[in-house]
């Protein structure tokens, strides 16, 4: 946990790895105890377990005590054709794969569950490897989109047999950032007023044999960090984490490209000193609004307003006046590689 101060207000940042599979998934062999050990060694504050069509991990976790690590258990859903993958939280019923994506998204929403569309757009170079697409963008009852998924992007980059060994030796070379059409799709939902959040994930599948994508390596790559105005509590941590993810009080960073320590992004009123963090809203009537961005070192910062880039600048600090209502988010690049992608701040 990293504690920050904005105009004398304490803000707490927690770093997490999302979308992890354990031995309870048919395609993973790793024990929960090993996942926890690797997560702690990588200094994660929280993780989410999303096994395929099961929440069995929740039983094992309830019988153990994992000091210093918050664990949220959900599951990963898909349809009968194994498309339309969906990360489900706060919803205990395991839904049948006979349901359509529209049916299970609506059931989760109606049951006060929380759901994120997983790896929605995949672009396999190798046709021997099947892709898993999100097919129905007319659905609006989901809470957010997994815009960046390590396993998905790495698999897309494979061209078997031509580059397979190179990608095994250096898997991080494939991880460049979310696809532009994924970002555009996300922005379009927010333009229409749906306020959908974004998450980034490892999609870790541990094996019992050697793998270049071991958890201890993946946990040092794509993370989703949340900002809270209060510390996580032992009794209510699941709901605090899930609420932050649902509301977009978070940003995505690839730690392989650098630790985003001391990163901040908010919109504040110079007059009143009120401020909105990622995922929050501030009114134009507050007057003298500014967007503030701070980085640990100089990099390319892109500011996006209503889905369009309005500023690109190499800097470690940016402060620009805000005079229009809409949503503002940022992207940060290290050369050709994406590093940080923030959720929007809304100005009304």
Q: Is the pLDDT of residue 65 over 80?
A: no
* CA pseudo-torsion sign 284, 290, 296, 301: positive
Q: Within 10 A of 115 (CB to CB), how many other CB atoms are there?
A: 24
Between CA 70 and CA 236 the distance in angstroms is: 10
- The domain segmentation of the chain, as residue ranges, is 2-257, 261-348
Nearest to residue 311, comparing CAs of 320, 303, 323? 303
Tokens of 268: 């504040």
CATH architecture of 261-348: Sandwich (2.60)
Mean pLDDT, rounded, of the chain: 95
Which pLDDT tens digit goes with each residue over 314-337?
Answer: 999 999 999 999 999 999 999 999
CATH architecture of 2-257: Alpha-Beta Barrel (3.20)
Q: Is the pLDDT of residue 56 over 70?
A: yes
Confidence of residue 169 (pLDDT cuts 50, 70, 90): confident
Using alpha carbons, list the distances in angstroms from residue 332 to 52, 63, 270: 33, 41, 25
Assess contact for 251 and 342: CB atoms under 8 A: yes
pLDDT of residue 209: 53
Q: Is the pLDDT of residue 210 over 70?
A: no
pLDDT of residue 97: 97
Which pLDDT tens digit goes with each residue over 86-102?
Answer: 999 999 999 999 999 99
pLDDT of residue 137: 98
Assess contact for 344 and 331: CB atoms under 8 A: no
Between CA 276 and CA 279 the distance in angstroms is: 8
Give the mean model confidence (pLDDT) for residues 22-32: 95
Asked if the peptide bond before residue 161 counts as cis, ω within 30 degrees of 0, the response is yes
Between CA 141 and CA 314 the distance in angstroms is: 38
Q: Is the pLDDT of residue 146 over 90?
A: yes
Assess contact for 220 and 48: CB atoms under 8 A: no
Confidence of residue 175 (pLDDT cuts 50, 70, 90): very high
Predicted TM-score (pTM) of this structure? 0.96
pLDDT of residue 166: 84
């Amino acid at each position: 946990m990293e504690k920050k101060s904005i105009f004398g207000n304490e803000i707490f940042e927690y770093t997490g790895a999302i979308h992890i599979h354990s031995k309870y998934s048919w395609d993973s062999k790793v024990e929960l105890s090993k996942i926890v050990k690797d997560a702690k060694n990588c200094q994660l504050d929280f993780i989410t377990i999303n096994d395929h069509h099961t929440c069995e991990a929740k039983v094992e976790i309830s019988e153990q005590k994992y000091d210093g690590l918050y664990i949220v258990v959900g599951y990963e859903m898909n349809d009968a054709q194994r498309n339309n993958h969906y990360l489900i939280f706060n919803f205990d019923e395991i839904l049948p794969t006979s349901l359509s994506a529209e049916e299970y998204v609506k059931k989760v929403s109606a049951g006060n569950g929380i759901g994120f569309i997983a790896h929605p757009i995949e672009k396999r170079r190798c046709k021997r490897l099947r892709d898993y697409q999100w097919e129905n963008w007319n659905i609006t009852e989901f809470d957010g989109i997994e815009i960046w998924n390590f396993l998905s992007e790495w698999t897309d980059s494979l061209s078997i047999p031509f580059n397979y060994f190179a990608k095994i030796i250096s898997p991080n070379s494939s991880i460049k950032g979310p696809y532009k059409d994924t970002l555009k799709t996300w922005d379009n939902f927010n333009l229409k007023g749906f306020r959908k959040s974004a998450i980034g994930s490892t999609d870790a599948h541990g094996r019992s044999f050697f793998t270049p994508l071991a958890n201890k390596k993946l946990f040092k790559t794509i993370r989703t960090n949340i900002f809270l105005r209060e510390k996580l509590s032992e009794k209510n941590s699941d709901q605090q984490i899930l609420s932050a993810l649902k509301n977009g009080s978070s940003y995505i960073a690839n730690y392989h490209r650098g630790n985003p320590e001391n990163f901040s992004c908010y919109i504040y009123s110079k007059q009143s000193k009120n401020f909105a963090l990622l995922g929050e809203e501030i009114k134009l009537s507050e007057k003298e609004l500014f967007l503030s961005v701070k980085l640990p070192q100089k990099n390319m910062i892109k500011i996006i307003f209503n889905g369009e880039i309005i500023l690109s600048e190499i800097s470690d600090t940016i402060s620009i006046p805000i005079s229009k209502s809409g949503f503002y988010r940022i992207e940060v690049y290290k050369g050709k590689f994406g590093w940080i992608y923030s959720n929007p701040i809304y100005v009304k």
